[in-house]
Structure 1
């Protein structure tokens, strides 16, 4: 690796331009995707805690080192550039964009993800947070609140004692004035909600923890103790974020649908105003984001239990497709994909329909990214390939073809192994583990 040039602002000490130029030259000379380790490409970004990245858990988070590598390159974007992630999750790209001195724009269908992103990209006074925390604890001690919010199957996931304590703590937080400080407490509370449940902490989607020989399920937990520990940890994270801060603006929310980016309802994000898009969209057969966050969505009263399915249906990559939709084969307009999907359809029409719908909706999202990108701007697409009914499903190739149809050219293809079990997930027996990520660098030519 070439020795990186230094950069003069906190959080981003080096310019990765030389390494990106080397990789582009190798790719264009050989035509082969370059195998890399993003952890090794930016060794100054240590694995683990960094600013507010781990304020709250979330399935299949983008590796911060991937975002950092591209945001640190002066030939990819300049300081002050506009950076968009239309599938932001909990804001890994948004946070790194802000740390790099750029303007962050983000969108996501999950209201919990949007709340977490808002908190982790805001500079929040720790003095104000601690004062609010003390007030919430005082209210907790006095509270007799016992009516829980609409949490799906609440009696299955919690012991009665935990429900009672969570109700009292929620009541103590809810009394706070709406704003960033209250949202900080709500995000901390949301982390506790899962920890105090009977769900297996090793799995992203809630599955009740089972007792077996050698392991007993901890039935009694102290909600207040868990909340206090999480609060202190989150305060340390915010303190580090503040220590890296020069003059940060919070991320800009641009809607809940990657296919329709809006500054406000009815006001589209203007065309040609984004310099760089870095995004890791849902994979075709990887994660159930709404189900994975269903307990927090209920406790925070972001979504009623009866609305979870409706919210899931708004997500690209969903599993539930009405049978009437796939009574005949659904073509995507991507020739190589349709050859595979026609074969899958003969064996399993539902799985074919899920994959076809995914590609059709991703094409719409890519079209919207192309619209808001300026000419010469770049799209960094992080995606995984997998197996559908025994057939290799090359999402990276299919989405690359869709981008080229829109008027983008491929500058670079990279492959990185996935170390996190959070991404190595499959939905069912017809899918497969995703063990490598493809990173495509595309340029908008017209």
Structure 2
């Protein structure tokens, strides 16, 4: 119900209550077949039923979600309070109302007891401290602020007390951290600093509830973390003897020189390609692929034409066979008729010539296609041989590349950097020179 709805209920209840005191009998002239007292009691009954439903809803929410439901419960409690402004409703809901209140307040008492027990452990930075329980308790108190503000439920403003204790605890940490000597001569102080940083990180969850602790926490944590990082950096710089040693520099230089050998062999292989009229390995691969595609296309075309040629030959053979039969019949007729001209008609001769010429043309086309396929096949074999020799030239130094790359990567070189050095002779020579100078500086 909204505020206006509840105000309307209060007004109606007041009117009905007054009417019930004036009119005892039913008022037929205003269509009331019951006494006003009965109407009033029925009205109160409906309100009380609604009140009880709210009470049950609160109980259900609280049972399932505990303090996380406090925001929703708050609205329902305010509705109950407003309904209880009707005196008759207040009298009938006394027991239900205070049972609900006691249920919630009892839970808060338990939370208050827990927080009073765990705060001292927090100050001591106990290793087994339950940070999750602390967060739950503080979150509960934060959400229940509206409950503690109700005069009849006041249990003391523990939230402010918790906040003050946490801020005081952070101030103590800040003061104590000033006396930590975070260097390699005091490893116990380094360990203590690490624990403080971890402790502060776990308290970060409370910042959403108590924003004031954020600045203190970050200030303390950053100072300690910065000091620890600076110490670690000093250790790496001053005590990483391997990085500063001549041996370390020489090993890198040796592997870079091996990389140079590989780069030179790669240049030699590329020079071989250029002698064959190819710019690089990519062009070689492209030509091989192009020839293979053309061979495939021509072979398909050849097979198709050959198939058509065979069919056409078969058809011509059949036609010739028919002509032979006609020829024989014609000659027999010529004998019987005693014809002087016993030659085959000109049309038959022309037909045979035409078929012969067509067959020759198709055969020549097939022959050209076959010749082209043979040429392409020879070219392919030539390029494949070049590719084989190129790979052999590369293969000789690939083991060197693999070994050198593995070592250089273990010394902080990236794959990209190694690849760049292998392909850029000038940069590689400059890199080798740099390590030579560093070796001379260490020796000198």
TM-score (norm 1): 0.19
Which of the pair has the greater relative contact order for Cα pairs under 8 Å at 6+ separation? 1
Q: Larger Rg: 1 or 2?
A: 2
Q: Which has the higher helix share?
A: 2
TM-score (norm 2): 0.19
